[in-house]
Structure 1
């Protein structure tokens, strides 16, 4: 391994260990994926297995280290890092969790090192935890979609309806590399309101619940409920204070409900084209959604 430096001996991971990844960046909206991964490490007292050489991965002019200055006294810089932890839950498989700051450089080398690690530890499954902003209202449940090398997993955990071409994050590129290497891959992606610029605990909870359903990991998310309720109340108050925001949220609710209903009918009568029959008024095109997002954000900036 060229960049990954192991800081402890390779563990006995038991049968069917699972590689997990959650990196910050544009596919970590609301810090949902990274928060979910950190909860797994904290809840089950994970231990560090290794870390990547940060000097090889980061442009420090773009992602500068953070230094605390206390009345003129400099603290120790906190450098961006990409680390690998081992988590052994009381039930379910051992988890090898890759987390931290999305690298600026050497993505393919990172992927090669991680593929080599999967070969050494006989890891055959991968799960990614991430999140993206979308035309989703905060008044509805978090919507989850998936990417996978297995069509059955796509049907089970939520297959995106559209075909899109987007700039890849490092996490997406890693998943593609793991698929090419022969792992069974599952990327879990929470879609959360594009107008929420802070952490979104409801998305982290949704990711962990879906992760638990797949791996059998007994994750406790009950302590997130209070934060979820508080944020919902704050967003409701913000919406109520502006007719424009209220109208915007209602429009998102109509789109969300139309898609949910079409999906329900599609499950009852597979192949009847209900999803394809949705009108542009019910589910606008990507260009229309982007224009609406830009309009809304411009209005808030003003």
Structure 2
């Protein structure tokens, strides 16, 4: 079963985009979407005041309420192999109850492996390969080496707790977290989604058609490149991140300290200002035309 929850672990909407791609390409029903085999009572888990669902006001009345849905779908990969997809908004409350409910799904459908997808914003340039953090509740499941050394105290999530609890209950679970450039974290970043699904293929032995996602990723990269070519100040920030990334990579290869010396890195104030302009430029009407972002 593949798990992708919207919310905390979803920089660049990487997990949500990946889940939508799976639904679109893995649907086994003529009307698309796959068969929903399990649903969760969202009212038990969702904080509506913190994450208000959108709805439409049409002239003089309300309509089109987009109710949040947390569901499990039966999908099939490109070779016809069946698998489950759990997707929807991350529960805001009652995480333990959520984990127990997922356990019921795992046992009812004899799920042998749970694979989760997530993404976090990192100070990395988009011009370098996307790093992936591998994690699992069983070390035999790991398909790659973690870039981290030692221990980190990080904010928890329902998705992370699920992996812990499944391990305590004797069920295998692993996952992948993509490192998304933090100046792109608020945009759809399909390149990260593709990287996540490539890892899912390896872990689960599924065959996923990634062609459409690859096209979307290439289009986004071209969009970013056009904007950078017309905005030298933003390009300078990305260049500084490239220098930092390359220095760290060389140090790791040579077994030296990862603390770079005498590298011309931008200040936090510079990064904040330039990233705001970057986002405004990509989303504005003058995108790619060389005009000043608004």
- By the TM > 0.5 criterion, same fold? yes
Query: 2:245 aligns to what?
Result: 256
Distance 1:153 1:244, change over 3 A: farther
CA distance in 2, matches of 1:184, 1:222: 30
Residue 39 of structure 2 aligns to a residue in which SS?
strand
Task: Say which is worse superposed, 235-244 or 186-195, in terms of deviation.
Answer: 235-244
Distance 1:292 1:199, change over 3 A: farther
Residue 195 of structure 1 aligns to a residue in which SS?
helix
User: Which among 169, 184, 203 is matched to residue 214 of structure 1?
Assistant: 203
Q: Report whether the alignment pairs 1:176 with 2:152.
A: no
CA distance in 2, matches of 1:185, 1:29: 22
CA contact (8 A) 1:132 1:192 kept: yes
Calculate the TM-score normalised by the size of structure 2. Answer: 0.82
User: Which among 267, 275, 280 is matched to residue 259 of structure 2?
Assistant: 280
CA distance in 2, matches of 1:172, 1:229: 30
Distance 1:188 1:279, change over 3 A: closer
Query: 1:228 aligns to what?
Result: 217
CA distance in 2, matches of 1:186, 1:92: 23
Instruction: Encode CA deviations 1:227-275: one digit per residue, 9 max, x unaligned.
Output: 2222222222333344442222122212333444456x4xxxxxxxx44
Instruction: Encode CA deviations 1:132-182: one digit per residue, 9 max, x unaligned.
Output: 11112111122211111233443x323132321111122112122112222
Q: Report whether the alignment pairs 1:296 with 2:275.
A: no
5+ long unaligned stretches in structure 2: 28-33, 278-294
Query: 1:23 aligns to what?
Result: 5
5+ long unaligned stretches in structure 1: 1-18, 266-273
CA distance in 1, matches of 2:214, 2:206: 19
Query: Pairwise CA RMSD of aligned residues?
Result: 2.6
Aligned residue pairs: how many?
268
CA distance in 2, matches of 1:152, 1:50: 29
Q: Report whether the alignment pairs 1:158 with 2:137.
A: no
Residue 230 of structure 1 aligns to a residue in which SS?
helix
